[in-house]
Amino acid sequence: MDPFSPIWYVCYIVVLLGLAGYGSHRLTIIFLYLKHSRKRPEPLEMFKDLPLVTVQLPVFNEMHVVDRLLDSVAALDYPQDKLQIQLLDDSTDETVDICRQGIERLKAKGFDAEHIHRTDRTGFKAGALENGTRFARGEYLFILDADFVPKPDVLQKTIHYFSDPKIGMLQTRWGHLNRTFNLLTRIQAMFLDGHLELEQTARNRSGRFFTFNGTGGIWRKSCIADAGGWEHDTLTEDMDLSYRAQLKGWRFIFLNDVETPAELPVDMDGFKSQQHRWTKGSIQVCKKVLPAIWRSKVPLFIKMEATAHLTSNFAYLLLICLCFLIYPSQHQPDFGKFTYYIINGPIFFFASVSVVLFYLTSQKALRPHTWWKEIPYLPLLLALGIGMSINNAKAVMEALFNHQTGFVRTPKYGIGQSSRSDWKKSSYKAMKTLTPFVELLFGFFFLFVIIEAAMEGRWSSTILLLPFPVGFFYTSLSSLTRMLPSGPSAEASPVIDPKDN
């Protein structure tokens, strides 16, 4: 017996227990959702005189989607004299002219519309919102990212909840304009559906904290001021402000039956940059607000849920550790099949089966008649989650060690459900890194691991480990193929703030 085998195996079990802990939290979310999902909030009363709403549209180099955004805002079913539209433009390319022309069109139609262009991107999106709020005449701020397309009746369905003076923010559920565009958008939609339908609904309706998703929601301006305003010391200013506001006693509302559609990233690099920003920002917020949460007088169950939420991305570090421990664990001493299944069975259930149940529940809730059509995508969802572990673990480490980076925008191309525009020739590209090459090495390593397991007749291990090479090959090759020359776009620059290194 190798004297280090028990040590490797104990480390392997400890890591799996950590992942199982986050898996059990998913099961808790499912339970809370099923218990509370029917408790739909209702407005305290209806406004007799509709209040003034300021629509804030933060934009940075979005030439493909700005016109679509402005057209959808102009189509809102809300009195024109009760709308103020702010196009908060930090662009450095031809988007500036497109924005200026779009605002002129709205003014010609009688809208109170303003193009606020900054040449100094201090604070990135948070800075743009902070700057725009200084000039906002409305007490209620409807925030929409450039790739969103609000439905005409969204304000009529939401504004009346603010008749309760304790309500500080209302979030609508994101929809997906290009859900079926390709395999990646299909899987992304399932990821987001799980968060938006299950997590947000369960947290909100069970009395726990939940967070603004950065867009598709309405803030009370006095709530923002009371919470300390927009701060830009994290990459997820929305999550940061949400926790600060709720710690001040403000109540939030999530409406899962009011959908605001948006465009999903259609290429792997764009998806990775988005996930990197969200992951890093969440850990930054964790470091910033978690101590204040535990010092506060909120109930223990709220503190525990907030802790699980804010630390959830540490699971990517555990997943990376698991990648290094799997091979040694395959060669640990034979403790007997009974012991093996007693130890590994429950851990596997909480770490893996819980994920499948989580996303199946969300699909069944949103698509009660066609949810079963999403089942074939679940193995790919698991594989993508594994494949993203290197990208996201890197983001966690950067946040832990205070490595500062700018706000890298996710490229969007104005693609709808059936659109097949030549988006690959766009001048917008996500930032390229060495991560795909590391993912490729991991893919080959796990290919070797499962081939060895198959040759030794360990078929259960072969099947259970299959998502690892599939996930790493998918994330790596999808990025590497985008690095190949492809005509006019090959020399394009990534969409990144010029101050970034």
Rounded to whole angstroms, how far apart are CA atoms 179 and 163? 35
d(CA 377, CA 356): 10
Please indicate whether residue 500 is annotated as part of the active site.
no
Candidate list 238, 240, 267, 269, residue with the active-site label: 238
Of the residues 89, 90, 145, 240, only one is catalytic, namely: 90
Q: Is 238 among the catalytic positions?
A: yes
Distance in angstroms (rounded) separating the CA atoms of residues 17 and 13: 6
Q: Which is it for the CA torsion 223, 227, 229, 234, positive or negative?
A: negative
Helix segments in 91-250, DSSP class H? 95-108, 124-133, 154-158, 183-193, 200-205, 221-226, 237-247
Cβ contacts of residue 154 below 8 Å, gap of 6+?
Answer: 76, 172, 258, 260
In contact, 117 and 89? CB cutoff 8 Å? yes
Helices (H), 296-336: 300-311, 315-330
Q: β-strand 83-89 against 140-143: which pairing, if any?
A: unpaired
CA angle, residues 69, 71, 72, in degrees to nearest 5 = 65
- Distances in Å between the Cα of 284 and the Cα atoms of 43, 389, 396, 400, 404 are 34, 18, 9, 8, 10
What contacts 439, CB < 8 A, 6 or more positions away?
A: 387, 390, 391, 472, 473, 475, 476, 479
Q: Find, among 396, 379, 402, 399, the residue nearest to 467 by Cα.
A: 379
Q: What is the DSSP string of 198-242?
A: IIHHHHHHTT------SSSEEEEHHHHHHTT----SSS-HHHHHH
Q: List b or e across 11-43, with b for residues whose CB sees 16 or more CB atoms inside 10 angstroms.
A: bbbebbebbbebbebbbbbbebbeebbeeeeeb
463: which residues sit within 8 A by CB, 6+ positions away?
none
What element of type H or E holds 36? helix 5-36
- Please choose, from the candidates 406, 153, 435, 395, the residue with its C-alpha nearest in 3D space to the C-alpha of residue 268: 435
Instruction: Please report how many Cα atoms fall inside a 13 Å half-sphere around the Cα of residue 46, on the Cβ side.
Output: 4
* Strand-strand pairing, 83-89 and 167-176: unpaired
Q: In angstroms, how far is CA 486 from the centroid of its own chain?
A: 29
Neighbouring-strand partners of residue 54: 84, 141
- The packing angle between helices 315-330 and 389-400, to 10°, is 120
At a CB cut-off of 8 Å and minimum separation 6, what does 207 contact? 302
Other CB atoms closer than 10 Å to residue 307's CB: what's the count?
A: 15
Residue numbers annotated as active site:
90, 238
